[in-house]
Amino acid sequence: MDYRIISIGALSAHPLWGEKEPVRTGHATTTLIRTRDRVILVDPGLPSQALAARLQERAKLAPAAVTDVFLTSFRPDARRALDLFDDATWWVHNDERERVGVMLASTLRRIAQDAPGDEDDPIRAAIERDIVILQRCKPAPDHLADHVDIFPLPGVSPGTCGLLLEEPRATTLVCGDAIPTMEHLQQGQVLPNCADYDKAKESFQEAVEIADFLILGRDNIVANPTRRAF
């Protein structure tokens, strides 16, 4: 197994930099994981054209080579380039799939009741597109590939889920937004707009306890500062 960062993500507004409103386009960190027979891309957050270029630059890969796409959450800026990987299998944690599905269906019913004849409502159209995407996403199995296991990290979203990469001498955790940036890691902070703040704090702690290296949701890969140096 090998892995590498394809694109370092960014928060649209970084609360620990004192930013209260969006000042940039947010996008998730995108990670590539290659096993004996799988090519897994995590959180394709860039626009399709940009991500295709990054895949070629960082791994000499075409989008068609990707066999699986894993979403750490269903947030829009973690899946912006999903359509680039139409031949791949799309995965998301079952809790995220179920909870987000209920919210989308409820919102769509409310819109249909409030404006039953407005088929051109852009909000309605966006929700319908999200439902189609979510229906295509499969519930991720506990064991995604050789040495690649899912690691639930609920809180920031209902079913935020990372991937635990096991190597002979170290473990690496793809964190998603459970730990978004180096500043959040250093200060022990989670994002303020959590679905469940207490669960997010618990997930943060579990992530720090289990891994030697952390791939942060909107930042680079870092050595776990709580672990002793190798």
Whole-number Å distance between alpha carbons of 82 and 135: 13
Check residue 87 and give its pLDDT: 96
**Lowest-pLDDT range of 55-59, 108-112, 124-128, 185-189:** 108-112
Per mean pLDDT, which range of 24-33, 73-82, 106-115 is the poorest?
106-115
Residue 91 placed within a domain: yes
Question: Which CATH number goes with the domain that contains 35?
Answer: 3.60.15.10
pTM: 0.95
Domain count, the chain: 1
Q: Give the tens place of pLDDT for each residue, 90-99.
A: 999 999 999 9
Asked if residue 135 is part of any domain, the answer here is yes
Asked if the model's pLDDT at residue 174 lies above 70, the reply is yes
**Does any domain span residue 57?**
yes
228 occurs within a structural domain: no
Name the pLDDT band for 119 (thresholds 50, 70, 90).
low
- 230 falls within a domain: no
145-151 contact pairs (CB < 8 A, 24+):
145/1, 145/33, 145/35, 145/37, 145/38, 145/40, 145/68, 146/1, 146/35, 146/36, 146/38, 147/1, 147/35, 148/1, 148/33, 148/35, 148/38, 148/40, 150/93, 151/207, 151/210
Q: Is residue 185 part of a domain?
A: yes
Average pLDDT over residues 95-105: 95
Q: What share of the chain is helix, strand, coil (3-state, %, to 5)?
A: 35, 25, 40
pLDDT at 118 over 70: no
Domain that holds residue 95: 2-223
What three-state secondary structure class fits 59?
helix
Q: Assign 31 a pLDDT band (cuts: 50, 70, 90).
A: very high
Q: pLDDT (tens digit, 9 = 90+) per residue, 121-134?
A: 788 889 999 999 99
* Inside any domain, residue 77: yes
Q: How many CA atoms lie within 13 A of 156 on its CB side?
A: 21
DSSP states of 150-195 as a string? EEE-TTSSTT-EEEEEE-SS-EEEEEETTS-SHHHHHHT---SS-S
